[in-house]
Amino acid sequence: MPSIFSRIVAGELPAYKVAEDEHHLAFLDITPLVEGHTLVIPKREVDYIFDLPPAELAALHLFAQRVAAGVRAAVPCKRVGVAVIGLEVPHAHIHLIPMNKVADMNFANPKIKVDERRMNELAAAIGAQVPTVVAGTPAMPTDPRDTKGGRETVEASEPEVHAAHTDKAAPGPENDAALAPLRELTKGLSYVSEADAPLEPVSFAAPAGGLTDEALAKLAGVAAGTPVERQELTYFLRNHTADDGVTGSAETANRFKQLQMYMKQELSGSQVYRFGQGPQVPVLVLGEGEGGRLLGFKTVLTET
């Protein structure tokens, strides 16, 4: 039997909708703890939120982030609290609750009654403030090749025309649709060592012989025979993902965390490759996307 949320998705039951995309829906809770209490759900019915595949779980939270921005802009509050309970409705959902004090998040509190007129006002006000993209998160795909399923469909019907960026016949990063999320995630970010170096998204066709040191050196544009050191991504970004780390900015640290999550969950086998020794060490961070294409970013580590 479909859950009550699935019936809302199907249009069988009404809801005070706030935001929607192809895979997600947000609407006001009709028994809220406070005004503006919003529920965010995947349209696909899955009972337990942590049974969602990693990519779907990440996408749900990115959608919730956008909705939370709308809630915070439309409803006076200090923060938007987040809760996952999952005992009342067998359909994964996230609670977004405007809060001015911790007690506002207490689900033992009596539920409030909000009349229909006010609920409509709240839904419209929040919906009007939900951004298309929250700064630092991947853009919502508009080209079918921006999604894994879409790329697979398109690539099956088109001849292979991609190659490494050094190939003049290949599309550069600005024209590679698969790079859209990485362009957004890396925008304005720099790797901080003894000097700052921007993160630049990259896309390569997988070398025929695999990621040998020789093939990696060619992708990085360094001399053949340059020593290659492999490093785990979490370790490489450890100082940048710590809230009190080298960036000195919690907002920037969160953006690095989002980038790290994307590389580890959306791409397979993400790995850091460092070439040679100081003072300037080129770095490639690559993972495998659909069709075996290599995606990631490059930067430079300064060591003197």
Q: What is the DSSP string of 222-247?
A: --TT--EEEE-HHHHTHHHHSTTSTT
β-partners of residue 19 are 26
Contacts of 196 (CB under 8 A, 6+ apart): 190
What whole-number distance in Å separates Cα of residue 261 and Cα of residue 55? 10
β-partners of residue 196 are 192
β-partners of residue 40 are 26, 94
What whole-number distance in Å separates Cα of residue 159 and Cα of residue 170? 13
93 is catalytic: yes
Kindly compute the dihedral angle of the four CA atoms of residues 192, 198, 203, 207, in this order, to the nearest 10 degrees.
-50
For residue 151, which of 170, 176, 125, 133 has the smallest C-alpha distance?
A: 176
Q: What is the DSSP letter of 169?
A: T
Q: Which of 24, 91, 93, 165 is catalytic?
A: 93
Strand order in the sheet with 268-275: 200-204, 294-302, 280-288, 268-275, 228-231
Catalytic positions: 93
